[in-house]
Structure 1
Amino acid sequence: MEELNGPIAGWLAGIGWSKEHIDLTTKLILLGGIVIVSWLAAKLFRNLLVPALQRISRSTKATWDDHLFSDRVMRAAARLIPPVVWYVLLAAVFYDLPLLLGVLRKVCLIYLIVTVLLLINAFLDTLHEIATQHETLRNRPLKGIYQMVKLLAVCVGAILIVSILIGRDPTTILAGLGASAAIVMLIFRDSILGLVAGVQLSANDMLRPGDWITMEKYGADGYVTEVTLTTVKIQNFDKTITTIPPYALVSDSFRNWRGMRESGGRRIKRSLLIDIASVHTCTPAEVESLRRKGLIAADTEPKTQPIVNLHVFRDYIRESLKRNPEIHPDLMQMVRMLQPTAEGVPVEVYCFTRSTEWVTYEAVQDDLFDRLFAVLPEFGLRAFQRPSGQDLGTLRADLSAETEKMPGTDDRAAR
């Protein structure tokens, strides 16, 4: 190192520089030279090597290399150059001050670790962007896994920095941390559970960003917007946001409506409550009237004898579902009578709409049951409905009118 300092010191002495300041000035000149060398190295890397790598990546058919050699990753890589140059060249300046040289080299190593962490962060963000554009990985909840890798990298970096500051082997620090593993587990409990849950959600394809899920326990009913290491964000249909820990989605049950969207049909499962008193066998005149109105096919004979109006009504619903263009023809269609209850006989309609969109689905369902309720009287059937206050008032008025018509009522009222 003296070969480098000697010419500079001789030159300073030749221009009349005082001897007591020659050593300090030499060190400052060398420090300035190191700063210039590190700046030029980073500049050459950014202006020469990076454009060349980016041109090569753009010339390939693959797109992942365009992300890996993006400006963000290359800037993070360029930050590695100054600490490496300083660590190597500082010995030329402070060769005669080993204590100060050791401190400065520790600073360079810490700076290098920080820049490496920044590079890892940029690299993982780039991998996440590549995954979001990949056909298979696009809907996988991988963000939590990337966050866990970042957390592990920061933990390793912190251990290395502490080991540099105290001058101990990193394995010694790790051994000391092993004794306090319970405390570490307690601190990072949510992160560890989130990582395990994220792996399970991704491996079993249980959840994807954009899925519509329902979880009544947490009041969640909407679309998944983000899956991170510690939270799953769900935007409900009322535009509120519900956050759920990932491990809750694994330990508890939730409903994912993705299968409904992928099937291409949305289920209608609704019942009409028929008044049991209105169920009766049809007379020949009623059957003929239904034929004329097109409610029974002219060439179709009822399967049951005698003919029951409720049976004819169920056949009519089945034919209506087959003719309805909004009902999916390839998915199950069924009309059945359920167990009679105190509120009447439930006739359940089970089918699927062609559209899975909520508004369209509700419109198709409403139109279907509007027509079914409207056509009930044509079959001599009535829908069951609990008596209301108006019904009781009408009944009271009818009873009063009947009472007034009874003979002797006026005489009793007069007396």
Structure 2
Amino acid sequence: MSQNADPKQDFLDAELISQASQALNAETWVIQVFVVLLATGIINIIQARILRRLHDVANRTKTPWDEALIYSVQRPLTLILWVLGISFSCRIIGEETGTTLFQAVPAIRDVLIIALIAMTLTRLIKRAEYNLIQSKQAQGKSFDKTTLEAVTKLLRLTVFITSGLVALQTLGFSVSGVLAFGGIGGMAVGFAAKDMLANFFGGLTIYLDRPFTEGDWIRSPDRNIEGVVERIGWRQTVIRTFDKRPLYVPNASFSSIAVENPSRMHNRRIYETLGIRYDDADKMREITEEVRYMLRSHPEIDTNQTLIVNFNQFASSSLDFFIYCFTKTTDWVTYHQIKEDVLLKVMDIILQKGAECAFPTSTIYLSQNNPEDPAFDPSALAGGSGAVSHSLSERQAPTPGSSVDSGSR
């Protein structure tokens, strides 16, 4: 028995098959995207554990570079894996849906990878700098921190410029055209920002010439600048004054002023002038010889430097001698303690020799009431007070038994 086929039933069967096929295809690419993202997450977990263990091992070594390398790739590597996983998933979705939006994914992926590689290099440079500083400080070794910071800043700047040019070339821009435009634009920017460029090159000069480094005490006789250098930047230098105020000095200023760096002195100088009375003139030689011997035997005085103790002046109220020597220390507080000890010992020597330190005095000569004396005052006798006239002129010769000399003290 033959049966006639139902056209309506055939159409429904074909429609069901088509919908089932589309649903199956949709489920296939969704599963593919899910598998890619799941695999990306699993790979990230595995690499994070491996790098964590390697980081622990690197921390126990004395080399600062292996720890810096592992530290620098930890975060960027995770991001790079996710960028690759997401971009691959977007490509699957774009091929299945035909959406033109996903055509820009490869270029975006390449730019992100370039940026993450640049991030890795900058983290490596910064971490290596930190580890090197910590290593030198732990070993107690001296190093030029300013030069190290200058080199690392230049390296980071080089990485930034290079990665930017590579990213532009990846996006389809001509690097030669960009450089040509940058040359013309650089001239215009240079004229507009000449002060900023002057500060930049001033900072570069500081890094190269190294007249001072961070932590140095500097001062300028040309400007009201004195304090401790806290930070040397590309545009300005931060100085902490002795009243604890921050002073921001543009780097270009250091190209036109003289800078004194007392932190690099080898010794500190003691230069004092002392005076004894004129009555103690016969003791001057003994005092200077004793003070000279005391300084040469003092444990904190550098005898390899200039040491002078000499009588050098007939002052108005004293006989002056000066002390000129250098301490071994350059520490400010210790220097003043040594200077105090030296001056106290000098004072003891003066007293031991029977002399006294001088201070400004004046001498007064008194004259008797002689009618023939030009300084005679009849009104004083008329008053019956028995008062005597006096002259303050030191040029008048005193009569025997009538002069009062306070001496030089």
Q: Is the shorter-chain TM-score for this pair beyond 0.5, marking a shared fold?
A: yes
Match of 1:215 in 2: 220
Q: Is the 8 A contact 1:328 1:352 kept in 2?
A: yes
Match of 1:366 in 2: 340
Q: Is the 8 A contact 2:313 2:319 kept in 1?
A: yes
Distance 2:151 2:62 in 1: 28
Q: Is the 8 A contact 1:147 1:229 kept in 2?
A: no
Among candidates 30, 41, 44, match of residue 43 of structure 2: 41
CA RMSD of aligned residues (A): 4.3
Range with bigger deviation, 341-350 or 28-37: 341-350
Matches within 5 A, 1:22-37: 28-37=30-39
Aligned partner letter, 2:298: N
Match of 1:106 in 2: 107
Match of 1:352 in 2: 326
Match of 2:302 in 1: 328
State the SS of the aligned residue for 1:74. helix
Distance 1:77 1:194 in 2: 37
Number of aligned residues: 358
Match of 1:74 in 2: 74
Match of 2:156 in 1: 150
Match of 1:317 in 2: 291
Match of 2:246 in 1: 241
How big is each residue's C-alpha offset from its partner over 1:160-200, in whole Å with a ceiling of 9 and x where there is no partner?
A: 555666x4223322221111112343577577556655554
How big is each residue's C-alpha offset from its partner over 1:326-356, in whole Å with a ceiling of 9 and x where there is no partner?
A: 3234433222466888898764322122433
Distance 1:399 1:341 in 2: 21
Give the direction of change, closer, same or farther, for the CA distance of 1:337–1:208 in structure 2 (3 Å limit). farther
| Deviation at residue 38 of structure 1 after TM alignment | 3.0
Matches within 5 A, 1:2-401: 17=20, 19=22, 28-48=30-50, 50-51=51-52, 53-54=54-55, 57-58=58-59, 60-70=61-71, 73-87=73-87, 90-95=90-95, 97=98, 99-132=100-133, 133-134=135-136, 135=141, 137=143, 139-159=145-165, 161=167, 167-185=172-190, 196-197=201-202, 200-217=205-222, 219-260=224-265, 263=266, 265-272=267-274, 274=275, 278=278, 282=282, 309=284, 311-336=285-310, 347-372=321-346, 383=358, 385=360
How big is each residue's C-alpha offset from its partner over 1:257-280, in whole Å with a ceiling of 9 and x where there is no partner?
A: 3333xx4x42212333x48x9398
Distance 1:280 1:410 in 2: 39
Give the direction of change, closer, same or farther, for the CA distance of 1:14–1:225 in structure 2 (3 Å limit). farther
Distance 1:400 1:68 in 2: 94
| Deviation at residue 113 of structure 1 after TM alignment | 3.2
| Deviation at residue 399 of structure 1 after TM alignment | 8.7
State the SS of the aligned residue for 2:234. coil
Q: Is the 8 A contact 1:313 1:379 kept in 2?
A: no
Q: Is the 8 A contact 1:218 1:244 kept in 2?
A: no
Distance 2:238 2:202 in 1: 15
How big is each residue's C-alpha offset from its partner over 1:79-129, in whole Å with a ceiling of 9 and x where there is no partner?
A: 222224444564444247484333122322332233233223312211221
Distance 2:294 2:367 in 1: 44
State the SS of the aligned residue for 2:145. coil
Distance 2:48 2:120 in 1: 15
Give the direction of change, closer, same or farther, for the CA distance of 1:269–1:23 in structure 2 (3 Å limit). farther
Larger-Rg structure: 2
Give the direction of change, closer, same or farther, for the CA distance of 1:333–1:40 in structure 2 (3 Å limit). same
Q: TM-score, normalised by structure 1?
A: 0.68
State the SS of the aligned residue for 1:147. helix
Q: Which runs of 5+ in 2 are unaligned?
A: 1-15, 370-374, 385-409
**Identity across aligned pairs (percent)?**
17
Distance 1:374 1:366 in 2: 12
Aligned partner letter, 2:214: P
How big is each residue's C-alpha offset from its partner over 1:229-262, in whole Å with a ceiling of 9 and x where there is no partner?
A: 33333333322222334454454322223333xx
Aligned partner letter, 1:356: T
Q: TM-score, normalised by structure 2?
A: 0.68
How big is each residue's C-alpha offset from its partner over 1:48-80, in whole Å with a ceiling of 9 and x where there is no partner?
A: 3x145436635655233223323x542233322
